[in-house]
Structure 1
Amino acid sequence: MTANTIEINRQRHRFDGRESVWLFGYGSLIFKADFPYLERRPASIEGWVRRFWQGSHDHRGTPDAPGRVVTLIEEAGAVCQGMAYRIAPEVFDHLDVREKNGYLRFMTPMTFADGDQSDGLVYIATPNNAAFLGPADERDIALQIAASHGPSGPNDEYLLRLADALRELADIDPHVFAIERHLRTAD
C-alpha cells in the first residue's frame, strides 16, 4: 500500500446525514488538536497497544531519514488510553492530510473515562503500508528518534510531548516510557 492514504481514507467512510463523528487519538492527536472539535473526552479502546513502529517521512523525519511515530498493534487483552474528539465530518478533510503517511481510518468501539461507550474512528498505520518500520529494540528506537527531524519539528519533541500527555491521562505505557528513558540517558 502507498504511504499517501488521503484518497483511500476519503473513500472508506461516508458521513451522509451525520452532524458529528467521534475520533480516537492515541499519539499526537492527544497533545496536538490542531482542528476544531465539539467535545473532547479521555477514552480507551481494547485489543490494541501503542508502538513507535511507524516511519514519519513527512512530519518528524524526511524520506531519507524517517523519524518514528506511533501506530496501534493488535494485542489481546490490551487497553490503549487516549483522547476522543467529537468532530464535524468536514474536519476529516484536514485530518486525512495530517495522517496521510500510511494511516487508514478504522471504526472502533471506545469507552470513555466515565464508562459511557460509543463507536468512533481511529487512524492506524498497518504493517502493509510503505512507511511501516516495524519493531526494533527500544534503545535503537530512541536513538533514531533523537537523530530525526522533519517539517513538524524534532522527533524527540513528539516522544516527550506524548509521554507528558500520557502522564496527564494517568496512563502508564511501558513502551513509550522505556523509549523516553533511553532518549534522556543518551543525552
Structure 2
Amino acid sequence: MNDLWVFGYGSLMWRPGFPFLEAAPARIKGRHRRLCVYSWVHRGTEAEPGLVLGLDRGGSCLGRVFRVAAEEREATIDYLRAREQVTMVYLERTVRAALADGSDREVSALTYVVDRSHAQYAGPLPRERQLEIVRTASGQSGPNPDYVLATADHLEELGVHDDNLHWIADALRGRVKADATSA
C-alpha cells in the first residue's frame, strides 16, 4: 500500500487533524477556492447557515498537500469522510497536485470538491452577502468568522492573496468599510 496524499485548500491547511509525514504548498488546476458552501454543521446550522470554502470549477488553487504514511491511509480517509462528508455537499476526488516546494514533484492527492447539485451549494454570491452570512454564523466547530480569519491568515503565510476572502477578513477586522456600494 502506498502513502496517501491529501490536498487542503481551507481549514485542512491549518487544522488537518490527522498525522502526516510531510506537508508542502501545492497547486491544482481546473478548480479554484470559493466561499460557496452553506455550512449546516461546522460553521452554521440549517436554520442559520454559515459559509465555507469549496473547490469550484475553473482556474487553479494553491493550497497544501500532506503525505500520510501508508499504514495511516485508511484511518485518515475514514477521518476525512467523517469530517467532510457530514451532509454530502462535497465529492471525494483524486486530483493532480504540483508541489510548489521547488522539488518539481507532482502527486495524486485526495481532496473534496463542491457538489454543485447539492442544496448547500451557494454558488457565486456577492461579497457583501458572503460577509453578512459569515459575520453572525456559528456551528459545531465554532464561529464562522474564526474560520474565515484563520484561512485568510494561513493563505498570507503561504504568500497567497485571495481578493474576496481577504476583503471579507479585512471587513471582519474593521479594516474596510463594508456597504452595498463596495460590492
Q: Which range, TM-score by smaller chain?
A: 0.7 to 0.9
Which of 26, 32, 40 is the aligned partner of 2:23?
40
Write out per-residue CA displacement over residues 31-89 of structure 1, whole angstroms, 9 at most, x where no aligned residue.
112111122111111122111010111100011111000001122xx321111011232
Q: Determine the C-alpha separation between the residues in 1 that align with 2:42 and 2:141.
A: 5
5 Å-filtered alignment, 1:49-68, equals 49-68=32-51
Tell me what 1:105 maps to: 92
Which of 145, 163, 167 is the aligned partner of 1:174?
163
Tell me what 1:6 maps to: none
Tell me what 2:80 maps to: 95
**8 A Cα contact 1:138 1:182, kept in partner:** no
Q: Determine the C-alpha separation between the residues in 2 that align with 1:116 and 1:175.
A: 30
Q: Determine the C-alpha separation between the residues in 1 that align with 2:17 and 2:106.
A: 25
Please state if 1:28 is matched with 2:1.
Answer: no
TM-score in terms of structure 1 length: 0.84
Aligned residues: 168
**8 A Cα contact 1:139 1:182, kept in partner:** no
Moved over 2 A (4+): 181-187
Write out per-residue CA displacement over residues 123-147 of structure 1, whole angstroms, 9 at most, x where no aligned residue.
1122112321222110110111011
Which of 144, 154, 157 is the aligned partner of 1:165?
154
Give the aligned CA root-mean-square deviation in angstroms: 1.5
TM-score in terms of structure 2 length: 0.86
Write out per-residue CA displacement over residues 101-155 of structure 1, whole angstroms, 9 at most, x where no aligned residue.
3111111110101221111111112211232122211011011101100111000
Instruction: Name the SS of the counterpart of 1:64 in structure 2.
Output: coil
Identity in percent: 35
What letter matches 2:60 in structure 1? Answer: V
Q: Determine the C-alpha separation between the residues in 2 that align with 1:178 and 1:135.
A: 15
What letter matches 2:81 in structure 1? Answer: D
Q: Determine the C-alpha separation between the residues in 1 that align with 2:56 and 2:114.
A: 9
Tell me what 1:148 maps to: 137
